[in-house]
Amino acid sequence: MTIHWCGTGLSAIPGLKRLIELGYPVTVWNRTVEKAQEAIGSYTQNIRAFDLSALKSALHPGDTVVSMLPGDWHVPLAQAAIDAQAHFVSSSYIAPEMRALDQKAKEAGVALVNEVGLDPGIDHLMAHHLVAAYRNSDAYNDANRISFTSYCGGVPKHANPFRYKFSWAPVGVLKALKSPSTSIRAGEELTVTKPWDAITTYTAPLPQPEAFEVYPNRDSLPFMAEYGFDPKWEVHEFVRGTLRLNGWAEAWKDVFAEIETNPSDARLAEMSDAMLADNSYDEGEPDRVILCVDLKADNANGTAWHQTYVMDAWGDARGTAMARLVSIPVSLAVQAARSGTIPPGVQAAPADLQLVANWMDEISRLAQHLAIVDHTG
């Protein structure tokens, strides 16, 4: 039962290395063989040029396909996996076209596991833990008012004037700034078309509390059901968003102004190239990842229950924090799919509390700080 790992970009390598070191049979597929050999050649020589037809020919029942390729490859690879009665894993959000494969995957008896990277991924695990802990607490009451926030950001460990650095061309970051978001604020649905109009301050409960700029992204609302929120609950706040260093909004004000003009793709590419040239990571320079998932329940007397799952990680001798926090959870999902501990069908990061605990134990070794902060003592 072979693992077919497709893509050897910057965020793919630690998880791939882990599976090889654990002794799993792995075939590496990459669009450029030379780049894959440079990235992973000291661990394996079983490297092939990525081609969908060739991959299909190599698949067998019980295999697992991992897609660390651009998002438009996920659904074709997932379909190929179903056809071969193989599992599929990616770190990306579940697109409607992926969701539509659910019944086919169940009929084939295979798991299509997505959203198992950093964000989405580790944030889901934290949310599942907090919701279960609240439900099982003495403070639980259907009448409590619930507030939930989940903020994640990759930032430079050592701040620069631009308050951000890039490991690759940031055209995706620029396009994301043009995407609307939907969340709940003060009990009302909030739709934001310009993220910079919704920036607020969040103080992360780190060992030394630290303030960041945050804003909502994507559509948060479907995740209430994903996280097991009861439809009866009064939800005062529900936001999944992005975290940036303080000063980011000011440093990026000219970028925001140009985004407002709705620039062409060619102009976005031009902006991206300039930003990468001026603000890229130096060789060996540490990145930093902060993730804070917070759940609070209030009643007429004040706060009844309030915990934050907080993580702080940075690049070290093992490489970048982003790479290990994206790809090692992917490798955990591969193991779970192969072992049958994740059921057939299309799904995101697991809600099973034993799996959550096992995965978070592994993740604790990837971060320099991981803790659950109980604000109510």
> What local confidence, expressed as pLDDT, does residue 176 receive?
87
Question: 172 falls in which pLDDT band (50, 70, 90)?
Answer: confident
Q: Indicate whether 348 pLDDT > 90.
A: yes
Nearest to 67 by CA among 121, 126, 122, 5: 5
Q: Indicate whether 10 pLDDT > 90.
A: no
Tokens, residue 346: 């299309």
Question: 178 falls in which pLDDT band (50, 70, 90)?
Answer: confident
Residue 81 CA neighbour count, 13 Å, CB half: 37
User: What are 115-145's pLDDT values in tens digits?
Assistant: 999 999 999 999 999 999 999 999 999 999 9
Question: 371 falls in which pLDDT band (50, 70, 90)?
Answer: very high
% of the chain residues with pLDDT over 70 = 100
Average pLDDT of span 184-195? 95
> Do 336 and 344 form a contact (C-beta atoms < 8 A)?
no
Paired residues of 181 in beta bridges: 192
Collect all residues with Cβ–Cβ distance below 8 Å to 153 and sequence separation of at least 6. 212, 214, 242, 243, 244, 289, 290
Average pLDDT of span 196-211? 96
Average pLDDT of span 323-348? 97
Question: Distance between CA atoms of 48 and 51, rounded to whole angstroms?
Answer: 9
Q: Indicate whether 372 pLDDT > 90.
A: yes
The DSSP call for residue 205 is -
Mean pLDDT of the residues in the chain: 96
Question: 171 falls in which pLDDT band (50, 70, 90)?
Answer: confident
> What local confidence, expressed as pLDDT, does residue 311 receive?
98
User: What are 216-248's pLDDT values in tens digits?
Assistant: 999 999 999 999 999 999 999 999 999 999 999
Q: Indicate whether 34 pLDDT > 80.
A: yes
> Do 46 and 39 form a contact (C-beta atoms < 8 A)?
no
> Do 263 and 271 form a contact (C-beta atoms < 8 A)?
yes
User: What are 277-299's pLDDT values in tens digits?
Assistant: 999 999 889 999 999 999 999 99
Nearest to 128 by CA among 348, 373, 288, 350: 350
Average pLDDT of span 181-193? 95
Average pLDDT of span 271-277? 92
Average pLDDT of span 35-49? 94
Average pLDDT of span 168-188? 90
Q: Indicate whether 363 pLDDT > 90.
A: yes
Average pLDDT of span 318-331? 96
User: What are 107-117's pLDDT values in tens digits?
Assistant: 999 999 999 99
Long-range contacts at 68-75 (CB < 8 A, ≥ 24 apart): 68/5, 68/6, 68/7, 68/8, 68/9, 68/11, 68/12, 68/327, 68/330, 69/6, 69/7, 69/31, 71/95, 73/6, 74/98, 74/114, 75/101
Q: Indicate whether 154 pLDDT > 80.
A: yes
Q: Indicate whether 309 pLDDT > 80.
A: yes
Residue type, 111: A
Q: Indicate whether 377 pLDDT > 90.
A: no
% of the chain residues with pLDDT over 90 = 94
Question: 167 falls in which pLDDT band (50, 70, 90)?
Answer: confident
Residue 89 CA neighbour count, 13 Å, CB half: 32
> What local confidence, expressed as pLDDT, does residue 209 receive?
97
Q: Indicate whether 153 pLDDT > 90.
A: yes
> What local confidence, expressed as pLDDT, does residue 170 receive?
87
Tokens, residue 80: 């190929």
Average pLDDT of span 41-52? 95
